Amino acid sequence: MNLFSNFGHNSYHAGTFRIEKRFDRGLSFNTFYTWSKTITETEGETGDNGITFYNRRLEKARANYDLTHRMVGVLSWELPFGRGRKFLSSTGWVNHAIGGWELTMTQTLQSGPPFTVGMGGSPNRYLAGEQRPNIVVPAADAYTPNWSIGPNRFPFAAQNPYLRMNSFVYPPAYTPGTLGRNTFEAPGLNWTQLSLAKWWTFAEKYRFQVRLDANNFPMKQPQFNAPDGTFNLNNPGAFARITGTRGSFADVGTSNANMLLVMKFQF
């Protein structure tokens, strides 16, 4: 007999603050800031049941995808070229070629998602369920102060660890660790986009756009994934080291600088 039911409980709370300002000469600024918190009772994101299936509230914590802070600022400028503009105000082919272009800069700042510290390599035996260490300091003190990845990203063991290993110990045999789920927060995101675009209108109901998008440009910045979260005294060089970057080629937070040429036709 199989039992299927929704045993978990999730909650989401958020607030958004917006500022918009329009200046003269085609310049406008728009920014959004969102504070939010998503809480789940179990590791529903990964399909686990936590410490015990019968008391799922023991796993109540931030969801894997929770982002506490997110701000997106958009600065748009209608370039001063072409008909009705300050420079080269004319009709004909000159206006079609250089008039009506708009330059947009988008800056995204957000805090990192939470992650869990598990464990491995313990000589003790434990009951089934989530395996996490004991934490021996306040969670805020487990971070490496003023952390940066350091001058050497490779090999990973040469990095500065994101968390201090001496903040954790193995729990005694047959006891769950005192560390909760998703206790720590991964590095945040600082991502810049530039876009240059122009629309052409034909016979009033047809429009064609050319747009050049530049992501993580002009100042390329790595956007790091969460660090390794396995506390293992047999492999201390791997713990709390960052082994990858986030974002696909055109996704928010892509770590590699890239440029995309986009053409759009509306009818």
Q: Give the C-alpha separation, 42 to 49, whole Å.
A: 6
Tally of CA atoms within 13 A in the half-sphere of 169 that contains its CB: 6
Q: Is the pLDDT of residue 36 over 50?
A: yes
Examine the pLDDT at 155 and tell me if it is beyond 90: yes
Distance CA 264, CA 163 (A): 47
The pTM of this model reads: 0.84
Contact in structure between 18 and 72 (CB atoms under 8 Å): no
The pLDDT tens digits of the residues spanning 183-221 come to: 999 999 999 999 999 999 888 889 999 999 998 888 888
Residue 55 placed within a domain = yes
- pLDDT tops 70 at residue 257: yes
For range 166-192, the mean pLDDT: 94
- Model confidence at 34: pLDDT above 60: yes
Contacts of 59 (CB under 8 A, 6+ apart): 40, 41, 42, 43, 50, 51, 130, 180, 181
Q: 19-32 pLDDT, tens per residue?
A: 999 998 889 999 99
Mean pLDDT for the stretch of residues 9-17: 93
Among residues 66, 101, 8, 13, which one has the least CA distance to residue 186?
66
Residue 152 forms part of a structural domain: yes
Sorted by sequence, the CB contacts under 8 Å of residue 157 that are 6+ apart come out as 237, 238, 241
Residue 247 has pLDDT above 80, yes or no: no
In a domain, residue 1? The reply is no
pLDDT of residue 248: 67
How many other β-carbons are positioned within 10 Å of the β-carbon of residue 16?
10
Q: Report residue 153 as tokens.
A: 């990203």
Over range 52-62, report the average pLDDT.
79
Whether the predicted pLDDT of 173 surpasses 90:
yes
Q: What is the pLDDT of residues 70-125, one digit of tens each?
A: 999 999 999 988 877 778 777 778 777 888 899 999 999 999 999 999 999 999 99
Domain count, the chain: 1
Residue with the larger pLDDT of the pair 188 and 2? 188
Q: Which of 190, 166, 44 is nearest to 106 (CA)?
A: 190
Give the pLDDT confidence score for residue 129 in this predicted structure.
80
Determine, yes or no, domain membership for 28. Answer: yes
Q: What percent of the chain has pLDDT over 70?
A: 92
Residue 33 predicted with pLDDT over 80? yes
For position 59, what pLDDT does the model report? 85
* Other Cβ atoms within 10 Å of 151 Cβ, number: 8
pLDDT value at position 45?
42
Instruction: Please tell me the predicted confidence (pLDDT) of residue 58.
Output: 80
Residue 99 has a pLDDT of 85
DSSP-H helix ranges across the chain: 93-98
DSSP-assigned letter for residue 172: P
Assigned domain for 6 exists: no
The boundaries of the domain holding residue 155 are 11-266
Q: Assess if residue 4 is contained within a domain.
A: no
Q: Is residue 178 part of a domain?
A: yes
